[in-house]
């Protein structure tokens, strides 16, 4: 087997701009020009996906950059078919870089006769020949255990901490971190510890999926600059309602930091018209034109984080070192 001289990146159609950004950052880090492997990923008239790799990948350490965001099924199939193409082309190792892991919200059986789709997707990924997964802010940490291969789960929390300390530098003492539900307390507490801020919780009760019956703020938010922290914002109904309730309880202003901006349906319009002063998301999912045009939505780049994580995996060094904001600060120098 030939010795691998450098990592090789390949991308599907889900988030090409992020893939190109990762390639640029790796070029900067290494002083060696890194380009995406020349690939054709297209669809036949009946919707079937076809992949052709135009470069030799025999014995190479391959990284497929492909979030499984909307359309989740198409992007997932692209990932699986690309992996199969690389395996049949004798790639040495294939790592799936999945900035946003679709189907993660179906991580357990909530009632009788329902699937655990996250486990099914994990089985499909392993069966396609992928030997390692790199992702960010899994909706449920136990999903790592669904895989029989190594899974590196990065966190947006250090990135958010850096941004908050810059954006709110003159009023950090007034900042309070808010968990929009009881299930997200651990995530919110982690960020609160990083910036030494107090924590409050919005307790919500649902009558049925997609409908919120009641919301209550647990904690004193009066006069505070509140920052809601969550991993996913889909239709933004819960987020905007939580912001309203927090303002009704006396907060001076409300901002939100969300790892994955799914922002489907009326989400962007809701956010634009909401009481939130700003919503900060990452580019784990490619932002739509309406998202980019929204006056109160800002996108943080994850390319420096993923580029360094890929290099650490390739070099066989620690990925968990990137959980520390002090390690990320030099990587993001000039961005914040």
The CATH number given to whatever domain includes residue 113 is 3.40.50.2020
Give tens-digit pLDDT for 88-125: 999 999 999 999 999 999 999 988 999 999 999 999 99
- The answer to the question of residue 1 being in a domain is no
Residue 336 lies in a domain: no
Query: pLDDT grade, residue 336 (50/70/90)?
Result: low
- Does 61 show up as a binding residue in the annotation? no
Residues 195 and 296 in one domain: yes
In a domain, 2, yes or no: no
194 located within any domain? yes
288 and 321 assigned to the same domain: no
pLDDT in tens, 207-221: 665 566 689 999 999
Same domain? For 11 and 151 the reply is: yes
Band (2; pLDDT cuts 50, 70, 90): very low
pTM of the model: 0.94
**What tens digit of pLDDT does each residue of 38-83 get?**
999 999 999 999 999 999 999 999 999 999 999 999 999 999 999 9
Nearest to 42 by CA among 33, 53, 51: 51
Q: Is 235 annotated as a binding residue?
A: yes
Query: What average pLDDT does the structure give for the chain?
Result: 94
One domain for residues 207 and 145: no
Query: Which segment of 2-6, 213-217, 263-267 scores lowest on mean pLDDT?
Result: 2-6
Length of the chain as a residue count: 336
Torsion angle (degrees, nearest 10) of CA 230, 234, 237, 238: -30
Tens digit of each residue's pLDDT (9 = 90 or more) over 115-157? 999 999 999 999 999 999 999 999 999 999 999 999 999 999 9
Residues 166 and 272 in one domain: yes
User: 106 among the known binding-site residues?
Assistant: yes
Task: State pLDDT tens for residues 239-251.
Answer: 999 999 999 999 9
Domain span at 145: 7-155+303-331
Exactly one of 20, 204, 241, 273 is catalytic; which is it? 204
What is the tens place of the pLDDT at every residue in 163-178?
Answer: 999 999 999 999 999 9
Any domain includes 263: yes
Three-state secondary structure call for residue 254: strand
Residue 168 sits in the same domain as residue 89: no
On whether both 225 and 133 belong to a single domain, the answer is no
Is there a single domain that holds both residue 185 and residue 283? Answer: yes
CA distance readout (Å), 153 to 21, 164, 309, 323: 20, 22, 10, 10
Is 5 considered catalytic here? no
Q: Does 20 fall in a domain?
A: yes
CA-closest candidate to residue 165, choices 334, 298, 329:
329
Number of domains in the chain: 2
| 230 labeled part of a ligand binding site | yes
pLDDT of residue 79: 98
Q: Does 288 lie in the same domain as 169?
A: yes
Q: Is residue 296 in a domain? A: yes
Considering the domain architecture, whether residues 204 and 242 belong to the same structural domain is answered as yes
The predicted structure's pLDDT at residue 49? 97
Q: According to the annotation, is 48 in a ligand binding site?
A: yes
Question: Are 48 and 168 within one domain?
Answer: no
Confidence band of 1 (pLDDT split at 50, 70, 90):
very low
Looking at the structure, tell me whether residues 32 and 48 fall in a common domain. yes
CB contact set of 186 (below 8 Å; sequence gap of 6+): none
């Amino acid at each position: 087997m030939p010795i691998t001289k450098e990592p090789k990146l390949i991308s599907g159609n889900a988030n090409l701009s992020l893939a190109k950004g990762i390639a640029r950052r790796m070029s900067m880090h290494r002083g060696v020009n890194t380009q995406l492997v020349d690939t054709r990923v297209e669809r036949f008239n009946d919707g079937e996906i076809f992949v052709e790799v135009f470069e030799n990948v025999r014995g190479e350490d391959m990284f497929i950059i492909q979030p499984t965001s909307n359309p989740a099924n198409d992007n997932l199939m692209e990932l699986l078919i690309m992996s199969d193409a690389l395996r049949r082309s004798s790639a040495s190792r294939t790592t799936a870089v999945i900035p946003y892991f679709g189907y993660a919200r179906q991580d357990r059986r909530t009632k009788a006769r329902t699937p655990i789709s996250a486990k099914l997707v994990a089985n499909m990924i392993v069966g396609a020949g992928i030997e390692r997964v790199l992702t960010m802010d899994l909706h449920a940490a136990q999903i790592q255990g669904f895989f029989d291969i190594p899974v590196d789960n990065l966190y947006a929390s250090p990135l958010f901490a850096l941004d908050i300390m810059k954006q709110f530098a003159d009023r950090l003492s007034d900042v309070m971190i808010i968990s929009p539900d009881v299930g997200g307390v651990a995530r919110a507490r982690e960020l609160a510890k990083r910036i030494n801020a107090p924590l409050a919780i919005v307790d919500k009760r649902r009558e049925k999926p997609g409908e919120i019956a009641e919301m209550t703020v647990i904690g004193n938010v009066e006069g505070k600059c509140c920052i809601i922290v969550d991993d996913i914002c889909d239709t933004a109904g819960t987020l905007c309602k939580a912001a309203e309730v927090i303002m009704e309880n006396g907060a001076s202003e409300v901002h939100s930091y969300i790892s994955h901006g799914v922002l489907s349906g009326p989400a962007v319009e809701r956010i634009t018209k909401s009481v939130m002063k700003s919503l900060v998301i990452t580019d784990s999912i490619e932002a739509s034109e309406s998202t980019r045009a929204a006056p109160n939505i800002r996108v943080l780049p994850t390319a420096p984080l993923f580029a360094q994580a890929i290099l650490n995996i390739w070099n066989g060094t620690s990925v968990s070192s990137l959980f520390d904001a002090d390690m990320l600060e030099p990587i993001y120098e000039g961005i914040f």
